[in-house]
Amino acid sequence: MNEPATLAPLALKLDGYTALPAGKIASIVTMLEMTAPPAPLPERGTQGLTLEPVPAPGVEWYRALFRRIGENWLWFSRLRLSEAELASILADPDVSVYALRRDGEDVGLVELDFRVPDEVELAFFGLVPEFVGSGAGRFMMNRALALAWERRPARVHVHTCTLDHQAAVRFYMKAGFRPYARAVEVVDDPRLAGLLAGDAAPHAPLITL
């Protein structure tokens, strides 16, 4: 039997196709920032909505909401951490977690990361599927940015990728962010690792070649 071929290091072609090793998935990441507080987004459909701090988020609660929001968009980074690793992040005093709630039900997640001096990362921002497009995102963004700018940072930044909702970049730009960099991200497909269901994110078909 022939020995399996050794894969050469992945070399990105800037004009044409780049072969991906089996089990990998690629996306284009857009990095955005703002350096001054923006004007609030106009709001609609806000009745009953509140953005509430979660002072001591439990790992089980966090992962359940993270998965409910992010499975359609292949959010996986917090699912591959050990319970201890995730608990350590959530307990950090410079990481703030908020839940968007309507009538007591968790329908959105905001995570602000203050760990780098003089800047704030909007680390996670998302809604459960049934609230996407309802206007709840504008309500949540206005309050998330107000909380971020309370610290008077030099900048607030966020990143999104082509696996996310197709309107994500446009929404962030309407909120006042401006793109400043792009990158290609190649990772192990989280569906093959069992972190997410095999039928998650049908816009990014699961390919095993």
Give residue-wise pLDDT tens across range 44-103: 878 899 999 999 999 999 999 999 999 999 999 999 999 999 999 999 999 999 999 998
How do the domains of the chain map onto residue ranges? 25-38+45-188
Run of H or E including 95: strand 95-102
Mind listing the pLDDT tens digit for each residue in 93-136? 999 999 999 988 999 999 999 999 999 999 999 999 999 988 99
Run of H or E including 120: strand 119-127
CA-based radius of gyration for the chain: 19
pLDDT at 13: 83
pLDDT at 170: 97
Residue 175 and residue 198: Cα distance in Å, rounded?
33
On whether the CB atoms of residues 107 and 137 are closer than 8 A, the answer is no
Tokens of 161: 């990728």
**CATH number of this structure's domain 25-38+45-188:** 3.40.630.30
What confidence category does residue 198 fall into, taking pLDDT thresholds of 50, 70 and 90? very high
6 alpha-carbon distance from chain centroid: 34
Residue 8: is its pLDDT beyond 70? no
